[in-house]
Homo-oligomer: A and B are copies of this chain.
Amino acid sequence: MTKSYLELRSTITEAGTLRIHLESVPLPQPSEGELLVRIEAAPINPSDLGLLLGPADMSTLTAEGTAEAPALTARIPQQAMPAMRARIGQSMPVGNEGAGTVVEAGSDLQDMVGKRVAMIGGAMYAEYRLIRPDACVVLPDGATAAEGASLFVNPLTALGFVETMRAERHSAIIHAPAASNLGQMLVRICKDDGIELVNIVRSPEQAELLRGLGATHVVDSSAADFRERLEQAIEATGATLAFDAIGGGEMTSIILNAMEAVASRRMPEYSRYGSDTLKQVYIYGSLSTEPTILKRGFGLCWSVGGWLLFNFLRRADPSVAQRMRERVTAEMTTTFASHYTAMISLREALDPGTAAAYQKKATGSKYLIVP
What residues of chain A have their CB less than 8 Å away from a CB belonging to chain B?
50-51, 54, 82-83, 86-87, 90, 92, 247-248, 253, 264, 267, 270, 272-273, 276, 283-284, 286, 289, 291-297, 299-308, 310-311, 314
Contacts and interface: CB of A to CB of B under 8 A. Distances in A.
Nearest to A307: B300
Contacts of A304: 294, 303-305
Contact of A92 (B270, B273, B284): B270
A276 B311 contact: yes
B295 A306 contact: no
A311 B301 contact: yes
A90 B270 CA distance: 9
A291 B289 contact: no
4 closest cross-chain pairs (CB), A and B: A300-B306, A303-B305, A292-B294, A300-B308
Contacts of A297: 82-83
Taken together, the copies of this chain in the complex come to 2
Contacts of A289: 296
25 contacts: A54-B272, A83-B297, A92-B270, A247-B296, A253-B291, A273-B310, A276-B310, A276-B311, A276-B314, A283-B300, A284-B300, A289-B296, A291-B294, A291-B295, A291-B296, A293-B293, A293-B294, A296-B306, A299-B306, A300-B311, A301-B311, A302-B305, A303-B306, A304-B304, A304-B305
A163 to B, nearest CB: 17
Nearest to A52: B272
A53 to B, nearest CB: 11
A237 to B, nearest CB: 22
B291 A50 contact: no
Given A50-B272, A293-B293, A295-B291, A267 B300 contact: no
A83 B303 CA distance: 19
Contacts of A267: 86
Most buried by B among A272, A293, A294, A301: A272
B300 A286 contact: yes
Contacts of A306: 296, 299-303
B296 A293 contact: no
Contacts of A302: 305-306
A105 B284 CA distance: 56
Contact of A270 (B87, B283, B299, B301): B87
Contacts of A247: 296
A297 B291 CA distance: 9
Given A293-B293, A294-B291, A272 B51 contact: yes
A303 to B, nearest CB: 4
A253 B292 CA distance: 10
Contacts of A273: 50, 308, 310
A273 B303 CA distance: 20
Given A247-B296, A308-B273, A264 B303 contact: no
A302 B276 CA distance: 22
Nearest to A297: B83
A152 B138 CA distance: 60
A342 B272 CA distance: 25
Contacts of A299: 306
A275 to B, nearest CB: 10
Contacts of A54: 272
A9 to B, nearest CB: 13
Contacts of A270: 86-87, 90, 92
A343 to B, nearest CB: 25
